[in-house]
Amino acid sequence: MTHLKPINRKAGRIVEATADQKKDVVALQQGPPQQPQPHFPLGCSLVFSPGWEADSNGGTAGLCQPVERDIFDCHVGCFWPAQVPDQLNHAPDWTAKCASAQKDWRKLDLVFPG
């Protein structure tokens, strides 16, 4: 903020909150980041995302992150060429046989909509 200067403690918290809101969604092509972005560890076996392709009602309206987030995940984490199953609703046991990702990643099977 350049025109408003937070004076009391509550004002400081409001500035933090508005800054956080602005960080919420980051476009892929923004040029070099202006400030440190959340850091993703790179490598196939380090990150497993639960997937966000459907919400609890089977649609995309109630997702906690936009659907594009998945594409971003593939791009940044570079570990999966396509969508991963939704372990919250449709495929809770998807990683059941995969105790150690580095060793057992072959046991992660495909999931087909049932």
Q: Contact, 51 vs 86, CB < 8 A?
A: yes
Three-state DSSP class for 34? coil
Residues 6+ apart with CB under 8 A from 90: 54, 111, 113, 114
Catalytic residue among 20, 24, 55, 70: 70
Of 6 and 92, CB closest to other proteins:
6
Q: State the residues that interact with other proteins by CB under 8 A.
A: 1-11, 13-15, 18
- Could you tell me how many residues make up the chain? 114
Could you tell me the smallest distance in angstroms from the CB atom of residue 9 to other proteins? 5
Could you tell me the smallest distance in angstroms from the CB atom of residue 19 to other proteins? 9
- Cα–Cα dist 5/24, whole Å: 23
Give the type of residue at 112. Answer: F
Of 3 and 106, CB closest to other proteins:
3
70 among known catalytic residues: yes
Of 21 and 57, CB closest to other proteins:
21
Alpha helix segments (H runs only) across 39-114: 68-77, 101-104
Could you tell me the smallest distance in angstroms from the CB atom of residue 1 to other proteins? 5
Which residues are marked as active site?
Answer: 70
